[in-house]
Structure 1
Amino acid sequence: MPSTDSYDPEVLIRDLDENATENHVVDFLNSHFRELEDLENLNSTLVELKENEQSQNEKRIQTQAKTSKVLQQALDSFNVTVNELENLQATRMELEDALADHCSIVVSEKPIEDSENETLMKKLVKLQQQVDSLERSKQYLKVLVVADELSTKAKQLIEKSPQKSLVPYTQLAHLARNIKSNSKEAGHAVSHLDTYLQQCVDTLWEDMKNRLTKKFKQTLDAFNWPTPIKVPYPPNTTDKFSAFRKAFTELLLLQRPADVEEVSKPLESKNSKEDNVLLPPLLPMQIMVEPLIVRFRYHFDSKRPTNRIDKPEWYFSHVITTIREHSPFLTGAVQAIVDDAGFEKYHAKNEFIRCLLVAVTRKLNNSVPTLLNSPQIFSHTVFETLQFDQTLRELHMYTPPGQDEWGGCVEVFTGKKEWFKAWLKVEKTFAEARYNEIMHSEDVWEMVDEEFPDDEYKPTKSAAKLINLLELVTSRYKLLPLFHNRIRFLIAIQAELLVTYSKRIDSAVDSFGNLSYSIVRAVPNVAATDITGVEGLKRLCRWLSSAGFVSRTIKEWGEDSFFLELWHEVTVRAARNTGNTGNTGNIGAAAHNTGASPLPSPTSSISSTEQGQVTSSVNVDGAITVDEGTVFDDPAELFDNICERIQSLIVKNVSREFFNGLKAYVKKNNWSRSDIYNNDFTRQQIPKLNNQSKDTTSQSTIELSPELYTPLSDLAHSLTFLSNNLPDRIFKHIYKDVSKELEDYLWDRILMKKHFSEMGGCQFEVDMEKGLFTIGKRWIRKPENYFRRLKDACILLTLPANHSKIESKSDDKSQQRTLSQVISMLSDDELEPIAIPKMLENFGVYHLTPKEAIDVIERRVDS
């Protein structure tokens, strides 16, 4: 069994006396020699000490004499005791002999319950147990006496010298710790002693705190606290500040950790090796905030008119005002006291805010049950809370002492899953209601009355309002500090609204396409003008502008720092959780078809959807690299696909209208005649448009075919409308596609179906040069470059036959370009195939293949 000396009260008291002596010497020197000038009193002090020493020596001599007498008496008593022990030894020997005689009897006896018949062995064991119990009780009582003495001593010193009162307090804490550890090592429990001692420590600490708190409150009352203390301080407040500083510092002496093992360590030492650990609140700051909290509760927790559930901004504004008014005093005088006391990790203003926020979070927690029944007020309260948190972060640079980040008061709502879901549901319901209101308005597809650059989409009212709604939703969750909360808003509200809007446009486009190209035209309640001509283009352009505007806007959002941070977090989490080394698929189409959100999962464990969304990789050294992208890539792709569909419909619509008007022109059968429109060109000069001067005053004897007037007019009208309602780049892209459709149609329906004389070729060339090509000159510098095949075909169709007489100022080389030469070249079997395109270029034909050139030549009646 281990020795009990380690928790012997006499040993502990001896150690405490040595410590007390050392402390007394230090206190004496500090009290008599505070400054260098005090050394002048050294001689007088030495004389005084020597006199004191002489007096003590006399007392010591007297004490020694008394002690010698007492020791002699003790020695005599000892000798008597030794004699008694010798007699007892002889008696013990006799008892051993008697015990040996009765040993067999003791062993053979059966247990008897009656105490009078107990054997001697049992009686001795019982007596030994009683002796041990009495010894433990004696030690127990000694510990209680020591604990009471230390507690009393600390209480006596707390008023005069709080610093000295910590000595017995610390000793009591060590005593409690030693008793607790030694009782466990001894293998038995000292009944409730360790618990009682810890209660003594706690009670003593509370008593010391209460006494110092009373003194501190008196200094605050001298300042008329909580009235803000303005800077500069009045000159008559010097004594008040000194008393305040002393009381504040004394309270900081009690700023000790709860663990008694570290009771002697300053708080800053405890956390010196720990980062981002929330520090406990400072006692004096808690006391300073108490009257402010009382005032807060008086105004906002009672039945006062200021306590309105629908006006959370009132108490937020009150707190901000309170912080602003007290900031000069906190950052100046109070911060200096905190730093001098060795609590450099504390920022007085932040500590003040933290203590004040206790009232705010209590108010919010108490308000939630009522807010859950008032969705609009609930949403407003959360929004105001986010604004309040942002003000504390940005204006007052607030972070809790010891931590790098602050979750904000909004954690009241986001910290509990049920409350966060309720808030998310409120915001989603509001957003959906607003969206339905937008889409059910009569002017849903009307263009907005605002000016936009020519190279950008001009949105419809529904698209503009949708973007405004999405921006409002962003403002609701943008200030949330945690990623998983922000991403849930993005997915549950914004992504769903984008998908819903894209489906609405897609559905309208599908209906338009079905009506436009249905074999059965008789559709009830649908006029033909609604899907044809400019009216049909108007509907398509509005859908295109809506989709294009939304796509461009969310792409710009994706490059915003806020959404880039979301994307980075999504990709990093995906790489960490799945080890994804590449893009496993695009979920945009899946979301479009199945209704799934084209955005990553908000959970910390990345879902399969998120795996399909992100593109990230893990390097050999474990570093995660994030590929370029944004959270809106897939939603933007949905709208881009819709834009492509609508552009395709516009091209088909414009082309179809032109083709319908071109029926008479296609039915013409006089291309092979030499007299067209009652003009005999065999006796006239045939002008060459491709060689003529650019002088606009030159006149040609060949006029535009009258069958082209109407279709060209309709085409010009459609293109003009498109150019006025679409961005320049989109219009040029559509014009290019329309040109390709028209070129293919004219190639297949006229060039490859009709036979042309030289005059017929010239007429076709005039129709193209003066008609079709001229339409686009308003927007395209060289529109003929979009009809290169037709342009080359016109050259071949207008080549003179071998017997034609040409009256021209052209050189001899150009006079030799005849139809017979082209035919001879194309039919020359000895000519290398690679040389044919070069030969065609000599005739001005650059974009036709040899086969296409042969097909055109074969349409000449004189070939």
Structure 2
Amino acid sequence: MENEDALLTKIVKDATSLAAEIEKSCGSVPCILDSLNVEVERYSEVLDFVTPLVLKIDDMEKKLRALEIQETLSRYRSEVDAARVLGNADMALDAFTHLSRHLGAYNDCSSGDFHSHLPPYYYAMLASFIKGALTGRRAISLAMRIILEKLEKRFLFNFYGSRLTNMIEKPEWYLTEVQTWMVLNDQWLTWIQDEHLRCPLPSTPLRVEFMRGLIGFVVDKMKFDLGLIAKPPKSYCSDPLLPANKPQFGRVDEASKENPYGLDSSPLATDPDLFGHLIDEVLNFENRLDGLCYPVHELRPVDVLTRLDVLHRWLCLESEIAHRRMQDLLTKTQTLVPEKSSDSPTTPQCAEDFVALVYAISRRGVQLRDAKARAYFFRVQQSLLFTFLSTLSDRLPWLRGEKTKWETTPSANRSDSAVTSDPAVWTAVLNALFFVCETMQDWTNDQYFVELWEDRDIRKLLEHPDPWIDEPSPFEEDSSKMFEVYERQIRQGLEAVVSSLYRSLCEVSRDYRSDVSQWQRIPELGIGKFTGSGGGLSSTAADLAISSLSGKATDMFMLLTGSLSTLAKLLHPSLFVRVWKPLFSRLNQYLYSQVIRRNHFTAAGAAQLHYDIVQCLRAVVLTYTERPEEYISESLDACKLLTLPMGVAALLKEELKDTLTPGSQASSGLMPLIELGISRLSPDEVYEILLLRL
């Protein structure tokens, strides 16, 4: 009991002390609340001050992050631009991969729409490079998989493994087998759909779905033979319970994994002969598919050939073979000889063969669905056109600084150094360039080339050099202006021909030009005749019995007629017209300025000049045109003035003298010139010509 009393006493004391402590604590609570209120007010002010700073720092961090990503995107975007300019699809694909990965990070940290800053053509290029034709392979229905099951087993058994029918050098075997299955089942499948599947109609015709399934076998076979997949594909149709919405050949298994070694691991891709044979057979198979009315947008074997790595190898092979064949054409001994069976007797055989070679490449590229793949085939054609122009231009003598010889010596008697100056050589070169130029004009109406050029992105691609193809371009020109390059080379060549022949004519006519004794000779007594109409001595060639060409003009006329006759036989008619027209115009100016204006003429000299120009030169011009006056009008007008009767010439001189005085009407001097048939000379020039009469 005593212990219990002591314990209770202790508890009471503790409770009393605890109550005192509680009372004391409760008394200090108002003070604590007051101090807390003070602190809350102070911290509220700090919070109001700090919160905007924190938000600002957070915003700055986002902006810095956005700037970092923008800088990264800018770098990858410049890589895309560089890849686009260079035409390097692998580089473009890598850049687009990085670009697409960073776009999501940018959109997460930026409220702005970044896509508005991308050029429009980026989206098309992204779709072209990343979404290949093989990624869109559609699923096959359960019923069609049951139909294809036996054929798939037969295909896998015959064309894989160690079977004798599985030969990589014979792709036509499995292509022909697949085509046979298509033909044999086409009518039956059409009948099934028309007679038994009228309602509801399937979304895709049975025959098209059947063909698409068979082509899937071919695509996988090509990918395995080319080393694009590591292992043979597994059977797909043998599992008929596979959901129909599961993409065909879309399973992620060991058979569908990419081969890490790629094309280099396959002898089919590394052997040019085998690879080229595969391409030929696939393109022939594509033509047969078109004959079976297989839709263009469906899966096709040629889609395998438009993969970046396969297309790259195909283009390199196409370019190499085409350039080798072109060099073979240009190194033949009779390469510049016109073909006997040709419609144009002046077109060299090499030009027609070259055009056929270039056009054949376009016929191969036209079967590709991807426009950019077709554009790269066009780049091969551009490279061939540049090389052909460069090779033939090297045979033009004026580009090597040589002078074209205009002589009558046969080419067989010339030295070796003069053979290249033979007109038969460089006229054939000009004819070849002209034939290619005309062909390019005809191609402007070809749908293949029109579609390429109408695509703005493709046009930009064609306007830049391509590192995939060696373009031995001797001309720093826009490759899209190929026609202008050829036309300019032809124009320069024809100008060189005209200038060379003109210089030769000037050289051989040097004595004729300065033959003062000829122009100022006195006619023999009794030869001239007085005319009743003019009251003076007539000085026409007929009156003075001039019936032969000047002796010193013989060389000039022989060179003129001989050279033009040779060029008329060797040059294409359209090119020859561009030679004789400027040549006669230059010769007319030469005779007018160097012969007529620099000499004085007696009646006999004027009559001789009249015979040389009117009877001889006009006859030469008349060979090529019915209106020679258009090309030698100044010389003809001068001859008329120099052979006028003395009285008429004197009256005309006085009338023009009065007209040319200051204050007189200029039109009054034109009437007598019109009456005399002077059409190209002005009154001043007519007066100066009349002063040359002695």
Query: Same fold judged by TM-score > 0.5?
Result: yes
User: One-letter code of the match for 2:451?
Assistant: E
Match of residue 139 from structure 2: 280
Deviations, residues 721-774 of structure 1 (Å, cap 9, x unaligned)? 222233333322321100111112112221121111122112101110111111
**Inter-partner Cα distance in structure 1 for 2:314 and 2:420:** 44
Distance 1:544-1:684 versus aligned 2 partners, 3 A rule: farther
User: One-letter code of the match for 1:287?
Assistant: I
Cα displacement (A) at 1:783: 2.0
Task: Give the aligned CA root-mean-square deviation in angstroms.
Answer: 3.3
**Inter-partner Cα distance in structure 2 for 1:498 and 1:277:** 37
Match of residue 303 from structure 2: 411
1:483 aligns with 2:341: no
> 1:558–1:564: 8 Å Cα contact kept in structure 2?
yes
User: One-letter code of the match for 1:397?
Assistant: C
**Inter-partner Cα distance in structure 2 for 1:531 and 1:441:** 16
TM-score of the two chains, using structure 1 as the length reference: 0.54
Deviations, residues 91-128 of structure 1 (Å, cap 9, x unaligned)? xxxxxxxxxxxxxxxxxxxxxxxxxxxxxxxxxxxxxx
Distance 1:538-1:821 versus aligned 2 partners, 3 A rule: farther
Match of residue 678 from structure 2: 845
Cα displacement (A) at 1:305: 3.8
**Inter-partner Cα distance in structure 2 for 1:847 and 1:840:** 10
Which of 311, 316, 324 is equivalent to 1:425? 316
3-state SS of the aligned residue for 2:347? Answer: coil
Where do residues 40-189 of structure 1 align in structure 2 (5 Å cutoff)? Answer: none
Where do residues 51-450 of structure 1 align in structure 2 (5 Å cutoff)? Answer: 280-334=139-193, 336-340=195-199, 342-368=200-226, 369-392=266-289, 394-399=290-295, 405-415=297-307, 417-450=308-341
> 2:389–2:433: 8 Å Cα contact kept in structure 1?
yes
Match of residue 354 from structure 2: 466
Q: Relative CO higher for 1 or 2, CA cutoff 8 Å, sep ≥ 6?
A: 2
Distance 1:539-1:387 versus aligned 2 partners, 3 A rule: same
**Inter-partner Cα distance in structure 2 for 1:414 and 1:666:** 70
Cα displacement (A) at 1:699: 11
Match of residue 551 from structure 1: 437
Where do residues 510-589 of structure 1 align in structure 2 (5 Å cutoff)? Answer: 511-512=398-399, 514-516=401-403, 530=419, 535=422, 537-570=423-456
> 1:445–1:542: 8 Å Cα contact kept in structure 2?
yes
> 1:540–1:650: 8 Å Cα contact kept in structure 2?
no
Cα displacement (A) at 1:595: 5.0
1:714 aligns with 2:520: no
Cα displacement (A) at 1:705: 1.3
User: One-letter code of the match for 1:474?
Assistant: S
**Inter-partner Cα distance in structure 1 for 2:680 and 2:478:** 47
> 1:747–1:790: 8 Å Cα contact kept in structure 2?
yes
**Inter-partner Cα distance in structure 2 for 1:719 and 1:635:** 30
Distance 1:760-1:389 versus aligned 2 partners, 3 A rule: same
3-state SS of the aligned residue for 2:601? Answer: coil
Deviations, residues 764-797 of structure 1 (Å, cap 9, x unaligned)? 0111011111112222113233100001111111
**Inter-partner Cα distance in structure 1 for 2:650 and 2:400:** 48
Cα displacement (A) at 1:560: 0.5
1:452 aligns with 2:343: yes
> 1:499–1:597: 8 Å Cα contact kept in structure 2?
no
User: One-letter code of the match for 2:506?
Assistant: F
Cα displacement (A) at 1:324: 0.8
**Inter-partner Cα distance in structure 2 for 1:756 and 1:650:** 33
User: One-letter code of the match for 2:435?
Assistant: F
Distance 1:408-1:689 versus aligned 2 partners, 3 A rule: farther
Where do residues 633-712 of structure 1 align in structure 2 (5 Å cutoff)? Answer: 634-675=481-522, 681-682=527-528, 700-712=545-557
Distance 1:473-1:448 versus aligned 2 partners, 3 A rule: same
3-state SS of the aligned residue for 2:632? Answer: helix
Distance 1:527-1:857 versus aligned 2 partners, 3 A rule: farther
> 1:722–1:731: 8 Å Cα contact kept in structure 2?
yes
**Inter-partner Cα distance in structure 2 for 1:857 and 1:439:** 58
Distance 1:701-1:277 versus aligned 2 partners, 3 A rule: closer
Any stretches of 5+ residues in structure 1 without a counterpart? 1-275, 519-524, 578-582, 585-589, 600-633, 693-697, 803-814
Deviations, residues 262-282 of structure 1 (Å, cap 9, x unaligned)? xxxxxxxxxxxxxx9975311
Distance 1:435-1:838 versus aligned 2 partners, 3 A rule: same
Cα displacement (A) at 1:674: 4.7
Structure with the greater alpha carbon radius of gyration: 1
**Inter-partner Cα distance in structure 2 for 1:594 and 1:710:** 40
Distance 1:418-1:299 versus aligned 2 partners, 3 A rule: same
3-state SS of the aligned residue for 2:646? Answer: coil
Cα displacement (A) at 1:644: 0.5
User: One-letter code of the match for 1:390?
Assistant: N
Question: Which moved further from structure 2: 555-564 or 458-467?
Answer: 458-467
> 1:758–1:799: 8 Å Cα contact kept in structure 2?
no
Match of residue 391 from structure 2: 504
Cα displacement (A) at 1:557: 1.1
TM-score of the two chains, using structure 2 as the length reference: 0.66
3-state SS of the aligned residue for 1:539? Answer: helix
Match of residue 247 from structure 1: none
Deviations, residues 454-499 of structure 1 (Å, cap 9, x unaligned)? 8xxx3223322221221222122121111010001111x1111111
Distance 1:683-1:377 versus aligned 2 partners, 3 A rule: same
Deviations, residues 253-302 of structure 1 (Å, cap 9, x unaligned)? xxxxxxxxxxxxxxxxxxxxxxx997531112112112112222333324
**Inter-partner Cα distance in structure 1 for 2:214 and 2:511:** 87
Distance 1:651-1:347 versus aligned 2 partners, 3 A rule: same
Distance 1:506-1:822 versus aligned 2 partners, 3 A rule: farther
User: One-letter code of the match for 2:499?
Assistant: K
Give the length in aligned residue pairs.
Answer: 501
**Inter-partner Cα distance in structure 1 for 2:664 and 2:160:** 102
Distance 1:529-1:849 versus aligned 2 partners, 3 A rule: farther
Distance 1:827-1:354 versus aligned 2 partners, 3 A rule: closer
Cα displacement (A) at 1:558: 2.0
Match of residue 58 from structure 2: none
> 1:407–1:481: 8 Å Cα contact kept in structure 2?
no
Distance 1:827-1:543 versus aligned 2 partners, 3 A rule: same
Distance 1:669-1:817 versus aligned 2 partners, 3 A rule: closer
3-state SS of the aligned residue for 1:372? Answer: helix
**Inter-partner Cα distance in structure 2 for 1:562 and 1:640:** 23
> 2:158–2:166: 8 Å Cα contact kept in structure 1?
yes
> 2:368–2:374: 8 Å Cα contact kept in structure 1?
yes
> 2:397–2:420: 8 Å Cα contact kept in structure 1?
no
Match of residue 237 from structure 2: none
**Inter-partner Cα distance in structure 2 for 1:390 and 1:542:** 38
Any stretches of 5+ residues in structure 2 without a counterpart? 1-134, 227-265, 406-413, 465-470, 532-536
